[in-house]
């Protein structure tokens, strides 16, 4: 297996020494290329003379993609939003972050996440957020089921904020009572070398 390339050069069987820059990770079986994964490395130099360790951060598809999920693709199950998050900091203890998520249809908020604070570590971590009905006074807050979303065809927007600042927007659609596939998740149409799939109960979307 080719463990990685930079500027088209293979590192061979030795572990790559990754410096700041763009890379690709390519997988081969019996000489056949079956997956291609581009990523990059960013570096924050240490500012502490007593801990002169630079901090390296990986960037890849996981910083752009998230997915909607409901157990075994059963519409009566609760809807979740899953996404990888990273606290890009020299502090290995992480960064405290308040996460706010909303799914909108025609500009109207139809569901959100429960108020959540997370500690974002310097490494990428997968987080799961259960969706609920928007609060209206003392009412609301019921688990939002997948069938509540699938009941109406149309275009949807998921917006996510971290500590009050926009983190990303994801677009998706419901057609024929089903979530759509798009881009790298389109089976039979997407490039097989960069195809993304998470099983029958995960629908991936790009920021």
Structure confidence at residue 170 (pLDDT): 98
Asked if residues 102 and 129 have their Cβ atoms less than 8 Å apart, the reply is no
- The mean of the pLDDT values for the chain is 89
Asked if residues 27 and 33 have their Cβ atoms less than 8 Å apart, the reply is yes
What's the Cα-to-Cα distance from 189 to each of 7, 68, 174, 198, rounded to whole Å? 28, 21, 19, 16
Pick the range with the lowest mean pLDDT from 9-18, 99-108, 195-204.
9-18
Structural domains of the chain, with CATH: 1-59 (no CATH), 62-206 (2.60.40.10)
pLDDT tens digits, one per residue of 167-176: 999 999 999 9
Asked if residues 201 and 71 have their Cβ atoms less than 8 Å apart, the reply is yes
Going by C-beta distance under 8 Å and a sequence separation of 6 or more, which residues neighbour residue 80? 68, 69, 70, 128, 129, 130, 131
| Alpha helix (H) residue ranges in 94-172 | 146-150
- If you count DSSP H runs as helices and E runs as strands, how many of each does the chain have, helices first? 1, 15
The band of 44, judged by pLDDT with boundaries at 50, 70 and 90, is confident
Task: Tell me the backbone φ, ψ of residue 40, rounded to 5 degrees.
Answer: -140, 165
Structure confidence at residue 93 (pLDDT): 87
CA dist 23 and 27 (Å) reads 13
Scan for tokens 């959540």, then name that residue: 116
The band of 92, judged by pLDDT with boundaries at 50, 70 and 90, is confident
């Amino acid at each position: 297996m080719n463990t990685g390339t930079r500027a088209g050069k293979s590192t061979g069987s030795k572990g790559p020494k990754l410096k700041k820059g763009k890379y690709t990770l390519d997988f081969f079986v019996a000489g056949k290329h079956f997956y291609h994964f581009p990523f990059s490395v960013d570096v924050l130099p240490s500012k502490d003379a007593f801990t002169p360790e630079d901090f390296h951060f990986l960037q890849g598809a996981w910083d752009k993609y998230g997915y909607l999920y409901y157990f075994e693709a059963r519409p009566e199950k609760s809807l979740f939003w899953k996404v990888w998050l990273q606290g890009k900091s020299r502090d290995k203890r992480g960064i405290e972050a308040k996460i706010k998520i909303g799914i909108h249809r025609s500009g109207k908020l139809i569901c959100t996440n429960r108020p959540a604070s997370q500690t974002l570590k310097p490494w990428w971590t997968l987080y799961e957020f259960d969706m609920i009905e928007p609060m209206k006074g003392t009412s609301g807050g019921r688990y939002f089921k997948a069938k509540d979303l699938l009941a109406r065809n149309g275009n949807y927007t998921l917006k996510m904020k971290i500590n009050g600042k926009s983190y990303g927007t994801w677009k998706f659609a419901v057609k024929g009572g089903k979530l759509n596939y798009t881009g790298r998740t389109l089976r039979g149409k997407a490039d097989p070398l960069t195809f993304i799939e998470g099983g029958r109960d995960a629908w991936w979307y790009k920021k």
